Amino acid sequence: MSAWTVSNELSREDADTAYRWIGTESYWAKGLPRPLFDKSLANSLCFALRDGGEALRGFARVITDKATFAYLGDVFICPSVRGQGAGKALMQAIMDHSDLQCLRRWMLVTRDAHGLYAQFGFEPPANPERMMVRVDPDLYARLNAQDMAS
């Protein structure tokens, strides 16, 4: 197992790598325009996972008021290190972050990593009928079309 390190510092190269992962390889944000991704980084608490070297091996961001609520999003582990404890190390660093203590509610959405998140206390909502979402699944395609027309 690698000696994982996690920081809140992202270099421009790290941001490029994270964008490639999120905007082109993820199932949840494929087609995300780069300006929106950069804005999301600027307005989130970002986490960069490394394996002792300088290369980025994992990424996540937390959208939070740092007092009552946090949404965990864009969690991505480089395929070459999956199954080596990278996801657990990243999640542990997120949960241990000093700005994220004493939050009453955390949320996330996942298609396939329920087992990982359950290890950190996440569970399905007790009353899903109370939750509501507003989703615009075609937004990125429309924005990218506008950029191409410009």
- pLDDT tens track for 100-129: 999 999 999 999 999 999 999 999 999 999
Q: What is the mean pLDDT of the chain?
A: 94
Q: What is the pTM of this model?
A: 0.91
Number of domains forming the structure of the chain? 1
The enclosing domain of 15 has a CATH number of: 3.40.630.30
Task: Tell me how many helices (H) and strands (E) the chain has.
Answer: 5, 5
The residue segments making up the domain with residue 45 are: 5-149
> In angstroms, rounded to a whole number, what is the distance separating the alpha carbons of residues 41 and 22?
12
Asked if the model's pLDDT at residue 1 lies above 70, the reply is no
Structure tokens at 130: 């109370």
Cα dihedral angle (59, 63, 64, 65), rounded to 10 degrees? 130
- pLDDT tens track for 44-84: 999 999 988 789 999 999 999 999 999 999 999 999 999 99
